[in-house]
Chain A
């Protein structure tokens, strides 16, 4: 078990609000790591800090021993950290296939000359990208939607599409922000299957989720955030019994 992602003492404030205070955690290769906590705890903020959308005030983020903090998002992606968004950010006017093709952008290189002259290398790259994109669509189970506009896809399939797009970037670590939000139990179960399969294929997953059952059954380890502070870390069993965690979710009276 080697460490893939190391977050050391990351802090982030917005004006007077300390959104993240001294967050440290590490994610090991091939594990599914869960990030939970009440609303507003700073989970998405942490994701944004990890993926370069926010700068950090202090602390370090290391992936494969490469520093990722305060790098622009596309560089973080190239280093191997891909993400999905809480509110689904697909390219609405592009087809599902095109969305996934955009995911191939970071791993391909043909430029203007190649595009205009249709050089053999460019044509090969295009063909390869298309093949991979189709394969990914099948893998997440939405191959039938390949030529539909992303915004016309049913909600659950949109989430899968976002995952497919992230997978196209060949990440080492996939960070999913509430992937099960808005899904019915059948969809959740299918999602669970998909995530386990991805883990079996060697991918490491970092997950923000509110669905407690899903999280407990899926994650190897968890970290709990509350008001920007990590209040607990460990296996689901340990964390679910931690009084601080219970207080954070249910209030002190629950104890």
Chain B
């Protein structure tokens, strides 16, 4: 019980980040039936760009409060990522909308590699650390600690998810997105500008990714050109766990995966009698992914689709 609460808190925080990234995957998949492999790299770009801004400001204007510097970082990272998302959709995915399934998948992998290597060329291969501008406060809850950063992440994530739900359910764009996800053809016949809807989906997803990227790098204090790959894969697993194409599913899946990873890493030593250590943490996401796809491919909240002959 001593580590349970701590792992719970850590899991929820990690899970919120996964949820934000998972939302991007699930929205694109819902409309295009495409796994946007590059999404994880956009998260990474968000982190790197924000960190570059934060680092520069912290040096140039050390008097500025941490919150302002962070906001400045976000203010640059978000538009950059949105532009990236837009660009990628336009250049790499749109021309292949009617190509055989394999083609956009391979292109997505290619884009992912390009982004990773561009980041590597710009920022190098070393880990980049977050300057000490963040509030370092910690609070005790029943024997576990929760830091200010963790609280901020949780609150921000909840706020964003609620906003997204509002946008999708109550606005015209949201309605158009839901219609396009159900049937692109019919939506376009009903007057929906499908291209714009798809572009908006990428833009929104990329904005979420940027924020998630900043969160992750703030949380771990580091960013690295390769961080997007694993994060993206795990977030995708979360989206599948919740039911791909389903927004609530992405949020639920993200939180669950965060918890699974956190508890798994915490207890794996005990569970396997010391055979496996916590450095196996990363495989949890993979096992979850494989298990879900093999036993319940529609995910927790997904709908079973039968292929008609």
Contacts and interface: CB of A to CB of B under 8 A. Distances in A.
| A and B assemble together | yes
Interface of A: 14, 44, 47-48, 53-54, 85-86, 89
Interface string B296-309: 00000000001011
B309 A14 contact: no
B309 A85 contact: yes
B307 to A, nearest CB: 8
B306 to A, nearest CB: 7
Nearest 9 CB-CB pairings of A with B: A53-B309, A48-B309, A85-B309, A14-B306, A44-B309, A54-B306, A47-B309, A89-B309, A86-B309
Contacts of B306: 14, 54
Q: Looking at chain B's contact residues, is the secondary structure mostly helix, strand, loop, or mixed?
A: loop
Nearest to A54: B306
9 contacts: A44-B308, A44-B309, A47-B309, A48-B308, A48-B309, A53-B309, A54-B306, A85-B309, A89-B309
Contacts of A89: 309
Contacts of B309: 44, 47-48, 53, 85-86, 89
A89 B307 CA distance: 14
A48 to B, nearest CB: 5
Nearest to A14: B306
Given A53-B309, A85-B309, 9 more contacts: A14-B306, A44-B308, A44-B309, A47-B309, A48-B308, A48-B309, A54-B306, A86-B309, A89-B309
Nearest to B307: A53
Interface string B260-271: 000000000000
A86 B308 CA distance: 11
Contacts of B308: 44, 48
A85 B306 CA distance: 17
Nearest to A83: B309
A54 B309 CA distance: 9
B234 to A, nearest CB: 32
Nearest to B303: A15
B153 to A, nearest CB: 39
A90 to B, nearest CB: 14
A89 B308 CA distance: 12
Contacts of A44: 308-309
Contacts of A53: 309
Nearest to A89: B309
B309 to A, nearest CB: 5
Interface in B248-279: none
Interface string B280-309: 000000000000000000000000001011
Nearest to B304: A15
A176 B210 CA distance: 54
A89 B309 CA distance: 9
A85 B307 CA distance: 14
A45 B32 CA distance: 28
Contacts of A47: 309
A14 B306 CA distance: 9
A44 to B, nearest CB: 7
A14 B309 CA distance: 14
A54 B308 CA distance: 9
B232 to A, nearest CB: 33
Nearest to B306: A14
A142 to B, nearest CB: 24
A48 B309 CA distance: 7
A53 B309 CA distance: 8
Interface in B191-223: none
Nearest to A55: B306
Nearest to A51: B309
A16 to B, nearest CB: 12
B33 to A, nearest CB: 20
Contacts of A54: 306
A92 to B, nearest CB: 11
Nearest to A44: B309
